[in-house]
Amino acid sequence: MEQIPQRQPTRSVKVKNTVIGGGSRIKIQSMTTARVTDDDICGELAALKAEGCDIVRVAVNDVADALAIKSRDFLGMPVVADIHFDYKLALLAIENGADKVRVNPSNLGARENFVKVIHCARAHHVPIRIGANCGSVHDAVNVGQSVSDSLKEYVGVCENEGFYDIVLSVKSSSVLQTIELNREVSRIFDYPLHLGVTEAGTLSGGSIKNAIGIGALLADGIGDTIRVSLSAAPYEEVACAKRILRALDLYGGVKIVSCPTCGRKKADVIALASELERATSSINADITIAVMGCEVNGPGEAKQADLGVAGAVGGGAVLFEKGKLIKKLTKEEIIPELLKYIDSYSK
């Protein structure tokens, strides 16, 4: 029997109208490739919203970006200002409506600069994601120690100021290092953790790296919000994040299982499963659908599915529910009929 991972308890941190941690649903984040000042961002934001992005991050390079946050419509998604080096941009972004800021305190200069960001965030009820970077250290043992020590120091600064609206993250492009470091961080802190494998690569290769890195941690019950980092359109990051979460039963929606096909196949499973995945990606029904190649083995192999089709002689399929045959379908009826059944499950 499948087990939903037991989540490690963390504090809850409010980001505008949503919550990270505290046992809440794991939130999906992405980052726009367009600048806040660039109107191309509108298309990216619409696609992210449609795909189910919970929280969107934008790069704040300069004063113009920070000021533009105020007038940009983020379609209801909380917006995170990503700051490097200039703490004044963090202050300006918060004052202009950023719902959260992401900083690496080690690149903000003097300690009092970070403290000024904390004071500003507290005044505006805005949380801070504190990132620790291990990119420049190559010794795995020392990296772990150095990252933990850095985070302890930064968290200590926040706590000394009475500020607890903190989300933590550890940045590594190595899958194994990502897993090890986050396990270590989760043993030390009870602040929510932001997971991701950075610079993971392309849609295909990067998805696998993220699925392993993020997935292994989620299976351990670690992680409160995730960002799948891909060299692809931002909405693809959200689609991949949903697949990772669904694979672990941590996200609702239609789950598709399909066979790899073999010489017994009587239906084009590859085309059917892909079409069904596209058609159901945003449908809010907790249901598992099987797409199987033949009626000889298909219904039996997929009896755990709520609903399924298996290819039949002549190019059509049989429709089955919990392994029990319901009716025969022509090739053209397969997708519409499945969607009709899925619709009845979502009511």
Q: Which residues bind ligand SF4 (CB under 6 A)?
A: 259-262, 264-265, 292-294, 296-298, 301
Q: Measured in whole angstroms, how far is the alpha carbon of residue 211 from the centre of its chain? A: 10
Question: For ligand SF4, which is the closer residue by CB, 253 or 298?
Answer: 298
Question: For ligand SF4, which is the closer residue by CB, 75 or 257?
Answer: 257
| Contact in structure between 82 and 60 (CB atoms under 8 Å) | yes
Residue nearest to ligand SF4 (CB): 293
Question: For ligand SF4, which is the closer residue by CB, 324 or 347?
Answer: 324
Q: What is the DSSP letter of 115?
A: H
Q: Least Å distance between CB 296 and ligand SF4? A: 6
Q: Least Å distance between CB 312 and ligand SF4? A: 11
Q: Which residue's structure tokens are 């934001």?
A: 45
Backbone CA torsion sign across 118, 119, 121, 125: positive
Q: Least Å distance between CB 333 and ligand SF4? A: 20
Q: Measured in whole angstroms, how far is the alpha carbon of residue 305 from the centre of its chain? A: 25
| Contact in structure between 13 and 189 (CB atoms under 8 Å) | no
Question: For ligand SF4, which is the closer residue by CB, 97 or 298?
Answer: 298
Question: For ligand SF4, which is the closer residue by CB, 99 or 295?
Answer: 295
Distance CA 214, CA 226 (A): 8
Q: Residue 6 is encoded by which pair of tokens? A: 């037991």
Q: Is 259 exposed, middle or buried (0-12, 13-18, 19+ CB in 10 A)?
A: buried
Q: Least Å distance between CB 260 and ligand SF4? A: 6
Q: Least Å distance between CB 317 and ligand SF4? A: 12
Question: For ligand SF4, which is the closer residue by CB, 223 or 298?
Answer: 298
Strand partners, 257: 290
| Contact in structure between 181 and 215 (CB atoms under 8 Å) | no
Q: Least Å distance between CB 241 and ligand SF4? A: 29
Distance CA 29, CA 134 (A): 21
